Amino acid sequence: MNRNPLTEIAADLWRDKTGLFGLTVILLLIVLVVFGPVLAPHEPGAINLAARLKPPAWLDGGSWARPLGTDHLGRDVLSRMIIGARASLLVGASVTAIAGTFGSILGIIAGYFGRRVDSAIMRLVDTQVAFPGLLLAIIILAVVGPKLQTVIVVLCLNGWMVFARMARGIVLTVREAPYVEAAEVIGCHPIRVVWRHILPNLLAPMLTLAVLEFARVILAEAALSFLGVGVQPPDTSWGLDLATGKNYLFRAWWLVCFPGLAITVTVLGANLFANWLRIVADPHEREKLFAAAVVAEEGAAP
């Protein structure tokens, strides 16, 4: 059996429909982010007071010119969501990537080297956790001025600790595994021990954590935008739309529901994809899946 690894991965993905769904969602979002301005039917900031709070097309009073309706200033909800995806996903992805990498590295160092290094890093984590995150964010953003980059930095500042704690915990348990000792007895450099033998164990739980954090970060960005220190109008994000739309919850549910749905589907897609990745990264799980597929195709052995 000498197959191209890419075709093999594709076949795996085809077998796992939920993982495929997750990947499709992620790819769609990437297309949305890249081609947003071309795809959006209207200018997202274009105000049309004559067409305020129009419902989605399939309801009475809606029109297909504005498929998902309009907000309180008559702006097209669909266009705003397409453009708003850029800010939301940029913040969500970059914060989880930066905070996740930074936190994991510190956590691994703390867990692997232990003793003083561990105490120093973990006290830093405790100190950072003790600060109320939102308050710190507001202060920094108020002083420096609300810009997207600043929002990212600020959210990283209160997002890395959970990664550090989780990574440290896992490293502490894996470090005692006999195969890690075996690697050290072989003569592996500590970096190689961490890279080859400890890191693969972190992949699954850290991915899961990253997906959860991704959702939290999108919501945190929404909170900051709502408080006026995040994304500034006329720019937009899902969180900002969600926050402003909630004032019209009973008169125009679509202002809240569609951005909210977008966040939900994004998080769900990322979750399903991460789950598939976790299984594929584990040879034991993979073999089980493969066996199940063979049984499904050829029937169980008599």
Residues 6 or more apart whose CB falls under 8 angstroms from that of 281 comprise 200, 203, 204
Q: Which of residues 257-286 bind another protein (CB under 8 A)?
A: 281-284
DSSP lists the bridge partners of residue 70 as 76
Nearer to another protein, 126 or 287 (CB): 287
- Which of 117, 184, 228, 293 forms a contact with another protein (CB under 8 A)? 184
Give me the count of residues in the chain.
302
x/- site string to another protein, residues 118 to 157, per CB under 8 A? ----------------------------------------
Q: How far is the CB of 280 from another protein (least distance, A)?
A: 12
- Which of 61, 200, 233, 234 forms a contact with another protein (CB under 8 A)? 200
- Which of 287, 290, 292, 295 forms a contact with another protein (CB under 8 A)? 287
Helix count (H) and strand count (E) of the chain?
13, 0
| Residue 163 CB neighbours (<10 A) | 25
x/- site string to another protein, residues 4 to 43, per CB under 8 A? ----------------------------------------
Nearer to another protein, 177 or 249 (CB): 177
Q: Which stretch binds another protein (CB under 8 A): 144-152, 172-180, 236-244, 264-272?
A: 172-180
Q: Rounded to 5 degrees, what are φ and ψ at 202?
A: -80, -25
Give 93-131 as a 3 state SS string: HHHHHHHHHHHHHHHHHHHHHCHHHHHHHHHHHHHHHHC
Q: Which stretch binds another protein (CB under 8 A): 31-39, 179-187, 225-233, 266-274?
A: 179-187
Nearer to another protein, 203 or 219 (CB): 203
What distance in Å separates the CA atoms of residue 32 and residue 25, rounded to the nearest whole number? 10
Cis peptide before 55 (omega within 30 of 0): no
Q: How many chain residues bind another protein (CB under 8 A)? A: 22
Q: Which stretch binds another protein (CB under 8 A): 73-81, 190-198, 219-227, 234-242?
A: 190-198
Cis peptide before 234 (omega within 30 of 0): yes
What distance in Å separates the CA atoms of residue 67 and residue 231, rounded to the nearest whole number? 25
- Which of 17, 123, 147, 196 forms a contact with another protein (CB under 8 A)? 196
188 binds another protein (CB under 8 A): yes
Q: Treating both helix axes as pointing N-terminal to C-terminal, what angle do 77-113 and 115-130 enclose, rounded to 10 degrees?
A: 150
Site residues (vs another protein, CB under 8 A): 177-179, 181-189, 192, 196-197, 200-201, 281-284, 287
